[in-house]
Amino acid sequence: MSCLMVERCGEISFDSPDQNAKCVRMLGDARVRGQTGVLSERRGSYPFIDFRLLNNTTLSGEIGTKKKVKRLLSFQRYFHASRLLRGIVPQASLYLLDEDYLGQARHMLSKVGMWDFDIFLFDRLTNGNSLVTLLCHLFNVHGLIHHFQLDMVTLHRFLVMVQEDYHSQNPYHNAVHAADVTQAMHCYLREPKLANFLTPSDIMLGLLAAAAHDVDHPGVNQPFLIKTKHHLASLYQNVSVLENHHWRSTIGMLRESRLLAHLPKEVTQDIEQQLGSLILATDINRQNEFLIRLKSHLDNQDLRLEDAQDRHFMLQIALKCADICNPCRLWDLSKQWSERVCEEFYRQGDLEQKFELEISPLCNQQKDTIPSIQIGFMTYIVEPLFERWAQFTGDTPLSENMLNHLRRNKAKWRSLLHKQHSSSRSNDHSGQVTGSQEQTLNEEDTP
């Protein structure tokens, strides 16, 4: 089947009318296949979500122009700061990063495979360039630059595009989250059960998918886009809306940067398709689908990692784990991520309330508290996946460490929830938790 789709400013056209439904079904497939390559979105086509824009899809040329100017002005400082990756010490102090910070960042990179890696500190040390710096380092460590004959300047250009297409206004879905997921993915790729079979292509796909899996995230979820009739929901017909957007945006940046232009066409097409399969796997609505399949493989002991399809499936599972690994981090890091994601939920809820829309689940700050949200998330989403991952890896030190953190963090959230309930009963009003908990909480919540 030929499925040629051209996307311009939110409009699409197909070879024939009856291909519409066929192509949309392909978007949700675990592996997307096609004769003419993968479809892409043009960078800058979709502005940051603002309710004023929901009913106005007219694109502003000013937005694209500002981003291009910012990218040009930013590129040299990214390239200069990244010299630490090659062990080159600048002759003069950088105007944005001094040598002390560069030295600390270099030291952190030497321990990038440690699970206690503090991505927040690393982001500060790199002056907000954690994703670019981390990816360049990992591409070098894994020998990908040499293996794929990548041009360093072109690689930087692509990574700058990816980093800048994350929205720093988002408390959670921003470039720091992408860097955190990428660092976790690096740790998982080193697990012996998986590492012994991975090819350079597998590793590059895993790192690229981790880095770009939430690119251009608007800071609201799929139900919000659907009920506000946003153009992305219409474009992808309410099927994995955000994940499809992340994937297509990534393909657009790959093509614009020409990072892989020197590779054979069939190789780049395969990379684009597999990137889509990986990023689409992060759709939380497909959680049970992947868990059931993983459980079946583990119970039947029929995973053959020599087989490219089985390796790809485990890369999907690894990315899913990396995407939701926050509850498995050290408490101080895990708590920061929990507060950030809930802040993003609450912002959406406030927006929905302001415009008299039904408040989405977990987005009501007066009812959905951070402890209850986290306990529910850990119980129903994180624990089942990471227990299966540990079964796959064979209870390695990393898997045991993650599960131990998960159990301890869950116990701490339960303790905070108990304190909240006790406080609300004694004060005759809900809201304030004593001690270090700074977030407004309410006892009438459910996981």
Annotated binding site for AMP: 173-177, 214, 323, 374
Active-site residue list: 173
d(CA 361, CA 345): 9
Strands of 117-163, DSSP E: none
Q: Are residues 185 and 210 in contact, defined by beta-carbon separation less than 8 angstroms? A: yes
d(CA 285, CA 290): 10
CB atoms within 10 A of CB 357: 15
Annotated binding site: 173-177, 213-214, 323, 374
Element (H, E) at 8: strand 6-8
Residue 13, strand partner residues: 6
Q: Are residues 213 and 282 in contact, defined by beta-carbon separation less than 8 angstroms? A: yes
The DSSP annotation for 12-62 comes to EE-SSTTHHHHHHHHHTSSS---SS------TTSSPPP-GGGTT--PPPHH
For residue 7, the SS3 value is strand
d(CA 370, CA 31): 36
For residue 73, the SS3 value is helix
